[in-house]
Structure 1
């Protein structure tokens, strides 16, 4: 086990100081529940100032909204308990749906507003006339804790969030270098590669939330914009890298000698990926290295005549992808330098007509199911409480609501809810130890601080660690809450047990509920995401208009980043994540072909339309049957026919060759358009039939 670092100790001591300050002020102001101010400090505190500020602001807003809702709904519905239960469940479920539909720090507003309402409303049902005073005091206590956490975190050795961003991106750069080495060496599958692919996607996903907190870290808008651009380029690297694997396997497979100069080029790209990112003045050397690689790629381009052979078309596709890889990697390195130095200008090297979309993908069906499950859990637990007549049963309902909301976004929430139950039980034991053994000997506040210092500081050192964050935060918060420190000591064992065993009872109910209603795990979520990606392939290959192809592209990439972390690492060459990347490339290639249709001759257009229709029909079949079906051999024939017609004598490629010799032909689309069509068709063939490699383009079939 790694011992806490100095930064962990500093965070823990600062958090403890802020919690004691909040408790002291709460006691001096004679707030009804000063311990809530102490607990709030542990809820909102984060090792980084920006994260603490954002969480504090959003918690304050969410608390105020939830408290206002409690004041609004309790008086008119308190005499109708089951209607009131439905109102509380609908409010919490609706706000929860909004929370899990937002992947930024802003989601905390909706989350807090959702479960704060029952947290305030349910204890007041026995005294509805006091709901306003309860809502105001709860808001005061929470705001006090928020202010103390923010002030202490900002005043005492503040830690900025930007260095954590640099650490995350550096880890991503190391993984990307390994992934590039393996891919460019022709290895597409394996446990290590699959695990690396998962880490790359997970880091990109985590950065989305981290960047939403960066604005609260006094980060300049231009640096924040560069950080967003870096994440966008990091998203692109995985699809581009995956697109290189299949053509490389085709070029280096079989008995043929690979094209001259390709292997040294790949070795030099790998060396460049392994080079550390230089944030000093010599970073211009990296740009020169990238320019040299691009020049070598350009020098290896096959001639227009060579494009009529399969090997020439394959080499052209590979070099095109390698140039994209060099461009994206140079962009990533340049943006990393700008973020580290907080200065510099950036001119993107990788450009594409599809870039610029901002749309995210949300599985609305799963989100509705998750929110609906939590909503029904709250209603059922409230109904049980009402039927039982248990005066302190409100605590069970509130913690059940909190647990269902906390973990609603997870594919498999039950294990986390059970952990919540275990650590809440531990907190009950610690609270009892303090309340009945330690606190009777405490006669002033300084002694109370001393008694709290050792366990709370030790627990606080583990809060910054992701693997311990949930356990330690819950232990600290629940212990502070269950002790229920007041201005005077007043403890009754039976009252303590009756009120504080309600929480574990509610969590046990939440665990059983989530185990029964959500037993599916990540497999169901991944399969739904994959089927959704097939529907977008159908849309891309169909004749239906696409309103915004940039946003369609952004949505498909965002969904891909959600699929990869959900799939277990294996050695399978037909691993679902590899297949899903191929699906993504097929969709992109289909969009490229749709864009190029108006540039083709009648015969070429007919063959390309045949390919698109075949792709559409195949993926539509996958969608309808709910599983990946064998690709029909007729689609391979259709792609080869389209390739032949694009490259036939007298066709587009011949026209390009003739134009270069001053002999214009009958068809004269620009050379770039011709190559784009070839690249799309070759990429589609490799994605649909990765295990088959044609030795040459087939002859054009004779007309019937």
Structure 2
């Protein structure tokens, strides 16, 4: 076991000090429940100032919204218990849906508004006339805890969030270097590289939330913009790298010798990827971060290996051209990532993007609306049924069961399989009940002043606090600290009754046990269903990309497809399968990109070439539409393979004719070549990439028909 670091100890002591300050002020102000201020400190506190501030601000706003809703809904509905239960459940479910539809720190506003309303409204049904006072006092207690956590966290040895961004990106760089080494060596399957893909995607996904908190960390807007640009290129790196694996497998299939110079080029790219970032981290800021002689040399070597017009009319030449095109993109993206990493570390420096593409710049995210609605609807039904059971039982303290059931359903609604986490919530709540009982009936009777109370709380709460910063212990330790502080129910005077304590504090575990059973029954599907739905949605976008239907914003379509891919990869277990679903999902993405490229090139093609390309696009659309309708990946029809080979043949023939047309255009300046060479090359790359992605298993054993020499 790794022992707590000095940073963990500092965080724990600061959090404990803030909680005791909040408790002391709450007692002095004679707030009804000063322990809520103490508990709030542990909910809000984060090792980093920016995260604490953002969480505190959004929690305060969410609490006020939830408290206002309680004041609004309790008086008119309290006399109709079942209708009131439905109102509470619908409010919670609606705000929960907004919360899980936002992957930034802003989601705290909706999450807190979702479960604060039942926390305040349900206990007030026995005294509806006091709902306003209860809402105000609860808001005061929570805001007090928020203020204490923010002030202490920012004033005493503040820890900035930016270094954590550097640490996480450095881990991503190490994984990316390994992924490049394996991919450029011809290995794209296996558990090791599959697990590496998962780590890369998880890091990219985690950075999205981290960057939303960075603005509260005194980070300059230009540095924040660079961090956003870095994450965008991190998203593109894996699809580009995976696109190289299939043409490399075809080039190094053992049937023909590899192109001269390609192997040394790949080895040097791998070496460049493995260079430590620290080699340039201390570079003076006056030096342009884009200055990378090794990257320039690699691009020059890639240009030197480009096949000429005659070689492009062969399958091997088309493969080599496609591979070199992807390698240049890879070099450009990696240089951008390294340059941005230097700027973010030094917080100064200039940068000019090397990787420029019309697909860059989209901001749209992908959300599985059906699963989000199902998750929120499940929470609504859970709260309504729990409330109905409480009403039918007549249990005076049953409001605690319903509120904790609501909290559990909200906390874990975004998970694919929430039941294990809800059960952990139940387990640590039971532990908190035991710990609170020990304090309340054994320790607190010996305490006669506040300093002694602080001493009695110090050891367990500080020890627990050292584990809160660790992701594997965060849930358990945070719940233990918060629930213990809440269940002790510290007041200005000691007044403990064992039967009252047991009756009120057993309600919480009972509600959590109900939530566990409910989630186990209603949401047993796990990550497999979520991944299957994401993959099927990806097929819809591939079909859209290949169809004649207009795409409103291709940049946002691209961003949505990549975002969805980053959600698929962590949900799929590592495997040795060469046709692993994550590999197939990368191929689906490439087919969509190639289809969009062909759609953009259509207006520049001759009529005969256009017809062959349209047959390819229609075949792709029909195939993926069939996959969507049948809900499973289908065998690719051989007719599509034939259509791609015919289109390749026509495009390569046209490529051979371009030079003659260009010569004629020089002889007659008033006539231009109908199809520029660049467009021919782009169309060739798109068709080659599509064939490689749709028929990867055929490449090692059989080559596509060679086009006949152009007439």
Would the aligned equivalents of 2:644 and 2:691 in 1 still touch at CA under 8 Å? yes
1:534-549 equivalence runs, <5 A: 534-549=539-554
User: 1:356 Cα deviation (Å)?
Assistant: 1.1
Aligned residues of 1:397 and 1:506 also touching (Cα < 8 A): yes
Residue 419 of structure 1 deviates from its aligned partner by 0.1
- SS of the aligned residue for 1:47 comes to coil
Instruction: Give the corresponding residue for 2:681.
Output: 675
Tell me the SS of whatever aligns to 1:281.
coil
1:368 corresponding residue in structure 2? 373
TM-score (norm. length: structure 1): 0.98
Match of 1:400 among 405, 427, 438: 405
Counterpart of 2:44 in structure 1 is 44
Residues 1:689 and 2:691 aligned together: no
State how far apart, in whole Å, the 2-side matches of 1:637 and 1:178 are: 37
Aligned equivalents of 1:593 and 1:69: distance in 2? 53
Contact 2:313 2:707 in 1 (8 A): no
Distance 1:663 1:4 in 2: 78
State how far apart, in whole Å, the 2-side matches of 1:410 and 1:234 are. Answer: 24
Whether the aligned pair in 1 keeps the contact of 2:290 and 2:335 (CA below 8 Å) is no
Are 1:652 and 2:655 matched, yes or no? yes
The alpha-carbon distance between structure 1 residues 396 and 180, as it changes in their structure 2 partners (threshold 3 A), is same
1:413 counterpart = 2:415: no
Answer whether contact 2:658 2:677 (CA < 8 A) is retained. Answer: no
Q: Per-residue displacement from partner, 1:362-400 (whole Å, max 9, x unpaired)?
A: 000000000000010000000000000000000000000
Give the match for residue 64 of structure 2.
64
| Alpha-carbon distance in structure 1 between the residues aligned to 2:330 and 2:554 | 22
Q: Using the alignment, how far apart are the partners of 1:68 and 1:369 within structure 2?
A: 27
Alignment of 1:228-267 (within 5 A): 228-267=228-267
Following the alignment from structure 1 to structure 2, what is the Cα–Cα distance between the partners of residues 685 and 660?
32
**Residue of structure 1 equivalent to 2:329:** 324
Q: Output aligned runs, 1:78-157, within 5 Å.
A: 78-157=78-157
Deviates more, 1:667-676 or 1:412-421: 667-676
Partner of 1:280: 282
Supply the distance in 1 between the matched residues of 2:124 and 2:420 (Cα, whole angstroms). 31
Distance in 1 separating the partners of 2:703 and 2:527:
41
Q: Map of 1:530-679 to 2, 5 A cutoff?
A: 530-648=535-653, 651-656=654-659, 659=662, 668-679=674-685
SS at 1:125 equivalent = helix
> Is structure 2 residue 317 aligned with structure 1 residue 312?
yes
Distance 1:445 1:353 in 2: 64
Give the match for residue 355 of structure 1.
360
* Distance in 2 between residues matched to 1:52 and 1:545, nearest whole Å: 44
Partners in 2 of 1:285 and 1:260 — Cα distance?
29
Q: Is the 8 A contact 1:601 1:667 kept in 2?
A: no
Query: Whole-Å Cα distance in 1 between the matches of residues 480 and 14 of structure 2?
Result: 18
Residues 525-550 of structure 1 deviation map (CA, whole Å, 9 limit, x = unaligned)? 00000000000001000011111111
Q: 1:305 offset after TM fit, Å? A: 1.2
Q: 1:691, CA displacement in angstroms?
A: 1.3
- CA 1:285 to 1:362, structure 2 compared with 1: closer, same or farther past 3 Å? closer
Aligned to 1:480: 485
Distance 2:660 2:533 in 1: 47
Q: Distance in 2 between matches of 1:462 and 1:266?
A: 44
Question: Within 2, Cα distance between the matches of 1:302 and 1:369?
Answer: 54
Once residues 587 and 667 of structure 1 are traced to their aligned partners in structure 2, the CA distance between those partners, rounded to angstroms, is: 29
Equivalent residues of 1:419, 1:471 under 8 A apart: yes
> Which residue of the partner structure matches residue 524 of structure 1?
529
Kindly indicate whether the alpha-carbon contact (under 8 Å) linking 2:606 and 2:675 is maintained by their aligned counterparts in 1. Answer: no
Change (3 A) 1:699 1:281: closer
- What CA distance in whole angstroms lies between the structure 1 residues aligned with 2:72 and 2:351? 52
Cα separation, 2, equivalents of 1:428 and 1:20: 20
Check whether the contact 2:26–2:37 (CA below 8 A) recurs between aligned residues: yes
Q: Give the distance between the partners of 1:680 and 1:656, measured in 2 at CA.
A: 21
**Residue 313 of structure 1 contacts residue 678 of structure 1 at CA under 8 Å; is this kept in 2?**
yes
* SS of residue matched to 1:508: helix
CA shift for structure 1 position 700: 6.7
Task: Work out the CA distance in 1 between the residues paired with 2:166 and 2:256.
Answer: 44
Q: Quick one: distance in 2 between partners of 1:697 and 1:270? A: 33
> Which segments of 5 or more consecutive residues in structure 1 lack a partner in the other structure?
none
Question: Residue 490 of structure 2 aligns to a residue in which SS?
Answer: coil
Could you tell me how far 1:176 is from its partner in structure 2? 0.2
What is the Cα deviation at residue 270 of structure 1?
0.4
Aligned-partner SS, 1:70: helix
Pairing of 1:215-234 with structure 2 (within 5 A): 215-234=215-234
CA shift, 1:485, in A, is 0.2
Q: Which residue of 2 aligns with 1:471?
A: 476
| d(CA) in 2 for partners of 1:562, 1:656 | 46
SS in 2 for 1:305: helix
CA displacement 1:435-491 (0-9 Å, x = unmatched): 000000000000000000000000000000000000000000000000000000000
- CA offsets, 1:497-524, max 9 Å, x none? 0000000000000000000000000000
SS in 2 for 1:217: coil
- The equivalent of 2:455 in structure 1 is 450
Mapping for residues 341-352 of structure 1, pairs under 5 Å: 341-352=346-357
Q: Distance in 2 between matches of 1:571 and 1:326?
A: 28
Shift of 1:217: 0.2
Residues 59 and 663 of structure 1, relative CA distance in 2, 3 Å threshold: same
| Structure 1 CA distance for aligned equivalents of residues 414 and 54 of structure 2 | 20
Q: Which residue of 2 aligns with 1:698?
A: 706
In 1, distance between residues paired with 2:485 and 2:681?
A: 67
Alpha-carbon distance between aligned partners in 1 of 2:565 and 2:182, rounded to the nearest angstrom:
21
Residue 308 of structure 1 contacts residue 697 of structure 1 at CA under 8 Å; is this kept in 2? Answer: no
Displacement of 1:293 in angstroms is 0.4
For residues 12 and 255 of structure 1, what CA distance do their matches in structure 2 show? 63
1:431 aligned to 430, 436, 450, which one?
436
Secondary structure, counterpart of 2:697 in structure 1:
coil
Mapped to 2, the partners of 1:256 and 1:286 lie a distance apart of 38
Query: Does the C-alpha gap of structure 1 residues 21 and 695 become closer, same or farther in structure 2, counting only changes over 3 Å?
Result: same
| Equivalences, count | 700
* In 2: Cα distance, 1:660 partner to 1:427 partner: 84
String of CA shifts for 1:11-55, please: whole Å, max 9, x gaps: 000000000000000000000000000000000000000000000
